Amino acid sequence: MKTLIDLTDRFPMRIDLERLRSELDLLNNHTWVAHYDKDLADGWTAVPLVSWDGSMDRVESQNIGVWGQYRRTPIVARLPYFSQILDAFQCPHGRIRIMKMLPGTIIRPHRDIKEEVSNFAFNQVRLHIPIVTNDKVVFNVDGVNLQLEPGRLYYVNFSKTHYVRNDGSEVRTHLVLDLKVNDFLRNVFPELTLGERFGNTLQRRLLPIVWKLQDAKKYPQRKFWKLYEGSRLQKVRHRLRTRSTAA
């Protein structure tokens, strides 16, 4: 399956960009919560529309929850057009956020895997509707720079390595929807070829094995640093380095 698919013309609701931007303006004085992974990005904030517990004012509001138990947050009642868009997705909703990326900031290379996997092969996707963007945004997925147009609906396979840089002078704002694939959403996607079905089956079987092997490779390093931090060896090494610098 392609890394990027434009689903706009197959989606049953026409997306009105001006209405999205008009309601987005209502959030100018709203508190945007920081992203939950500070090592991943600075200057990346969100307004949760659907969260695991219905909250929207804490970093933890963006935590992964249980499918079927996610709830809309209070702000949705003030955003009727965003609410209509959510209603149009007749499939199980996961986290749904309006996400803002400030100028001059970066989302570092990473992949969305395991419980956060965003890959049609796993019947779990992350769709984007760009609301405000600029031509200086670098959106790189699997080594390819993608161009996403405002007001359109996109699927991107985020289980592949990706990063984003906002090199422009304007804030980049997307509606980002984590969704579980059912018959409705499956019909929004183009029909899979026989080769794509086979490829998806392989990914479902092989990628979890790859993720476990990668974790196993990282485990000894994490274990070492956990034991090393605050240890006598670290203190002795610190004293020796301090004396060496002073000399």
Domain final residue, candidates 188, 217, 233: 188
Q: Looking at residue 217, what is its pLDDT?
A: 60
With tokens 């079987």, the residue in question is: 205
Distance between CA 41 and CA 62 in Å, rounded?
15
Are 161 and 183 part of one and the same domain? yes
- Mean pLDDT within 25-44: 90
For the stretch 187-191, contacts whose Cβ atoms lie closer than 8 Å and that sit 24 or more positions apart, written own/partner, are 187/10, 188/7, 188/10, 188/11, 188/12, 189/5, 189/7, 189/10, 189/120, 189/155, 190/5, 190/10
Give the count of domains, the chain: 2
Residue 151 DSSP label = T
In the chain, what is the greatest distance between 2 CA atoms, to the nearest angstrom? Answer: 73
The range of the structural domain enclosing residue 237 comes to 194-246
Are 41 and 80 part of one and the same domain? yes
- What is the pTM for the complete model shown? 0.86
Distance between CA 83 and CA 108 in Å, rounded?
31
Give 246's strand partners: none
Domain final residue, candidates 169, 188, 207: 188
* Cβ-proximal residues to 213 (8 Å cutoff; 6+ apart), any chain: none
Order the strands of the 137-141 sheet from edge to edge: 106-110, 162-166, 137-141, 144-145
Are 102 and 222 part of one and the same domain? no
pLDDT tens-digit series, residues 49-103: 999 999 999 999 999 999 999 999 999 999 999 999 999 999 999 999 999 999 9
